[in-house]
């Protein structure tokens, strides 16, 4: 049996390895998988450095969803020579919009007042299905369970890291890794236009837009996402990217 490929799957805000459960099951024969923690601090680039410290392999394949995709781009900027292939799911390459920056503190206060479980159930979970699609009770329950496990302090740190994140769009043209860009056509948080932008500005990118899928594509279209990742892992890697001396 061929040696399994090292694969890092970075979850989104208030999510953990359960966000990737269908892909972990589907890809476990093909890849050795790590889902890192993303709760150590409130600075996005520092979070990316912490993830790099958690990864035991000198080179690895890297996929991230939502905040995980933003972190993946930071990891790539900091250590491009370590990344073999890149997958960006339901994510956003840009800095936080000014209006959204101001809202982050209100989000934290609302979560504190409501409690993490109620906030996840009433505020977060309704945002994740495709626009016009009904909520899946099992997915909503999982969102609540992951949020409860993460807790308010993790939410605060992640919200501040997202609020103050740098713009990652200018460096997209420097990405040499084979890249999968994937989203749902009904994603209200990271709409398809952002992914079209990613695919147009990353030189070796493949764009996949899933019909009737919202923000949590790994759960809402598990087979399609797993198959796309399997094909991505089979793509021939390019020569390692190295920093200039």
**pLDDT, position 42:** 97
Cα dist from 208 to 62, 111, 148, 181, whole Å: 17, 34, 32, 6
Predicted local confidence at residue 217, as pLDDT:
98
**What does the pLDDT read at residue 119?**
98
CA-based nearest residue to 239, from 185, 188, 177: 177
pLDDT of residue 245: 33
pLDDT at 2: 63
pLDDT at 3 (0 to 100): 84
Provide the terminal-to-terminal Cα distance of the chain, rounded to the nearest Å: 39
CB 12 within 8 A of CB 66: yes
Q: At a CB cut-off of 8 Å and minimum separation 6, what does 86 contact? A: 61, 62, 63, 72, 76, 175, 177, 178, 179, 180
Distance CA 149, CA 48 (A): 21
Which superfamily does 5-93+167-234 belong to?
Alpha/Beta hydrolase fold, catalytic domain (3.40.50.1820)
Q: What is the pLDDT at residue 9?
A: 98
Q: What is the pLDDT of residue 243?
A: 41
Domain boundaries, the chain: 5-93+167-234, 98-162
Closest CA to 178 of 226, 223, 227, 240: 240
- pLDDT below 70 — which residues of the chain? 1-2, 239-245
Please name every residue paired with 205 in a beta bridge, in sequence order, or none if there are none: 179
Q: Phi-psi category of 125—alpha, beta or left, where left has phi over 0 and alpha has psi -120 to 50?
A: alpha
Cα 23–chain centre separation:
13
pTM listed for this prediction: 0.95
């Amino acid at each position: 049996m061929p040696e399994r490929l090292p694969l890092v799957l970075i979850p989104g805000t208030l999510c953990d390895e359960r966000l990737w459960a269908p892909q972990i099951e589907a890809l476990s024969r093909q890849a050795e998988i790590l889902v890192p923690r993303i709760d150590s601090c409130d600075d996005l680039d520092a979070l990316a450095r912490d993830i790099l410290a958690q990864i035991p392999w000198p080179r690895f394949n890297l996929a991230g969803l939502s905040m995980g995709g933003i972190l993946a781009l930071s990891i790539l900027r900091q250590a491009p020579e370590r990344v073999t292939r890149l997958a960006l799911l339901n994510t956003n390459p840009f800095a936080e919009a000014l209006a959204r920056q101001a809202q982050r503190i209100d989000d934290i206060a609302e979560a504190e007042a409501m409690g993490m479980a109620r906030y996840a159930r009433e505020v977060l979970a309704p945002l994740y299905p495709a626009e016009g699609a009904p909520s899946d009770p099992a997915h909503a329950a999982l969102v609540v369970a992951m949020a409860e496990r993460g807790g308010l302090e993790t939410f605060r740190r992640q919200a501040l890291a997202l609020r103050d994140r740098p713009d990652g769009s200018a460096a997209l043209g420097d990405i040499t890794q084979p890249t999968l860009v994937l989203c749902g056509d009904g994603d209200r948080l990271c709409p398809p236009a952002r992914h079209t932008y990613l695919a147009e500005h990353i030189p070796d990118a493949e764009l996949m837009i899933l019909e009737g899928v919202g923000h949590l594509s790994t759960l809402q279209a598990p087979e399609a996402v797993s198959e796309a990742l399997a094909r991505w892992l089979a793509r021939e890697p390019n020569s390692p990217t190295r920093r200039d001396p």
